[in-house]
Amino acid sequence: MTYFEGVGKIQFEGSESNNPLAYKYYNPDEIVLGKRMEDYLRFSVAYWHTLVADGSDPFGVATMQRPWNGYTGMDLAKARVEAAFELIEKLGLKYFAFHDRDIAPEGDTLTETNRNLDVIVSMIKDYMKTSSVKLLWNTANMFTNPRFVHGAATSPNADVFAYAAGQVKKSLEIGKELGSENHVFWGGREGYETLLNTDMGLELDNLARFYHMAIAYAKEIGYTGQFLIEPKPKEPTKHQYDYDAASAIAFLYKYDLIHHFKLNIEANHATLAGHTFEHELRVCRHYGVLGSVDANQGDPLLGWDTDEFPTDLYNTTLAMYEIIQNGGLHSGGLNFDSKTRRASFDAIDLFYAHIAGIDSFAKGFKVAAKLIEDGVLEDFVANRYSSYKSGIGADIVAGKTDLKALAEYATEHEITNQSGRQEMLKSIFNQYLTSV
């Protein structure tokens, strides 16, 4: 069966094409920085937004017109698998990602729920065998069901902790079964609504206990995917514990988890936390925990997670700049945790939207690569910090000096600073952006 009638495989046609169903910048086989674009840009389709989301928002019901709208239950789940592979292949992509509850409906009991999962996982495994599509990551949805109203691993209710544990156990098994390259822990409702009723200490201790159990179980079953925490500041709880990269890192250190986890950085979560996307990526690089990326964008004037498809070329270029400097994302990828707007309700909008995001990252990648090849920013930075390469600066870096020696030095040296040249650098950046 065909779900997206009239749409063929999306082809690269170049920047002059006015075919809305063609790539203008994404050319999988083009060699950039010595690798095929496709190997660098490990794009992934987000199952929840693309196959499951219906366009409802807090003020209105479903709008999305989808070829699978007639189905229900397990039939719907199966139709979505078929449609997913058709869509991923037509987009020419290699990865997808899902929550357990995206792919199969909950049953009346955990046992039945897991049986539903088994059926669909088996079906997905079959599809994966006959395609080149792989699973970037899977995760457990521990926030939609009312049992998680107060959180999962941080619930005040131990029975909920137990249920969540059961769910993650199954998800790790699914990850192993499908060769998932990563396992993501997004906080869901791990946070609090008001401190008036919250024991933050116990909740965080329990969260760490939960993670240690997950590590142990992965080891036990031989699942070797990378564990990822996905920071997010403000939704759905008033305060989410994994507010941003720094708060996740502080937690990982305290609980001796820093060597077991990397982070999955989402652009829109970064800006909701008051940071730029590139800032969060740079922080992760510095702490050695850049794992994967949720590729989307927010609206800087709106205060919630809008999960728009990424189209701002400044953001995609600066993100790719960090990713290149990181030597790529390794087992991670660029997962489109992005949804078509509620008013873009046609099935064909799914293609327009993915093309928009893919081309924006491809263009950003090429611009970033050229900036790096030309050493534009790196040379400027190297020169700016050159005082640490010799003399007193080299002593500072080498740990060969102390406050007394530096104080003495300071009384004897005049200080001359250099301009930061922000405006000049931004001009050059614009030149690269529009001419690469």
Distance between CA atoms of residues 304 and 307, nearest Å: 9
Residues 298-357 contacting a second copy, CB under 8 A: 299-304, 309, 311-314, 318, 340-346, 348-349, 352-353, 355-356
Q: Binding of a second copy at residue 407 (CB under 8 A)?
A: yes
Q: Binding of a second copy at residue 177 (CB under 8 A)?
A: no
Distance between CA atoms of residues 362 and 314, nearest Å: 12
- Which residue among 99, 150, 275, 354 is the active-site one? 99
Which range touches a second copy (CB under 8 A), out of 28-36, 128-136, 174-182, 394-402? 394-402
Q: Smaller CB distance to a second copy: residue 1 or 196? A: 196
Active site annotation includes 99: yes
Q: Binding of a second copy at residue 15 (CB under 8 A)?
A: yes
Q: Binding of a second copy at residue 434 (CB under 8 A)?
A: yes
Q: Is the Cβ–Cβ distance between 248 and 208 less than 8 Å?
A: no
Residues 238-277 contacting a second copy, CB under 8 A: 238-239, 243-244, 246-247, 249-250, 253-254, 258, 271-276
Q: Is 230 annotated as a binding residue?
A: yes
- Asked whether the bond before 105 is cis by omega within 30 degrees of 0, the reply is no
Residues 136-155 contacting a second copy, CB under 8 A: 143-150, 155
Q: Binding of a second copy at residue 129 (CB under 8 A)?
A: no
**Contacting residue, 35, 115, 219, 413, with a second copy by CB under 8 A:** 413
How many residues touch a second copy under the rule CB under 8 A: the total is: 160
- Which residue among 49, 100, 102, 242 is the active-site one? 102
Distance between CA atoms of residues 413 and 436, nearest Å: 44
DSSP string, 361-413: HHHHHHHHHHHHHTTHHHHHHHHHTGGGSSHHHHHHHHT---HHHHHHHHHH-
Beta strands in 107-255 (DSSP E): 134-139, 182-186, 191-192, 226-230, 239-240
Distance between CA atoms of residues 275 and 247, nearest Å: 13
The neighbour count for residue 366, using CB atoms within 10 Å, is: 21
Q: Which two tokens stand for residue 369?
A: 């690569």
Q: Is the Cβ–Cβ distance between 10 and 22 less than 8 Å?
A: yes
Of 42, 32, 17, 51, give the one whose Cα is nearest residue 335: 42
Which range touches a second copy (CB under 8 A), out of 78-86, 175-183, 281-289, 326-334? 281-289
Dihedral (Cα; 140, 142, 144, 145), 10-degree rounding: 110
Q: Binding of a second copy at residue 189 (CB under 8 A)?
A: yes
Residues 48-107 contacting a second copy, CB under 8 A: 55, 57-63
Q: Smaller CB distance to a second copy: residue 94 or 170? A: 170
The neighbour count for residue 97, using CB atoms within 10 Å, is: 26
- Tell the smallest beta-carbon distance from residue 157 to a second copy (Å): 5
- Tell the smallest beta-carbon distance from residue 305 to a second copy (Å): 8
Which range touches a second copy (CB under 8 A), out of 71-79, 119-127, 131-139, 296-304? 296-304
Q: Is 307 annotated as a binding residue?
A: yes
Distance between CA atoms of residues 430 and 171, nearest Å: 44
Q: Which residues contribute to the annotated binding site? A: 230, 266, 269, 294, 305, 307, 337
Annotated binding site for Mg(2+): 230, 266, 269, 294, 305, 307, 337
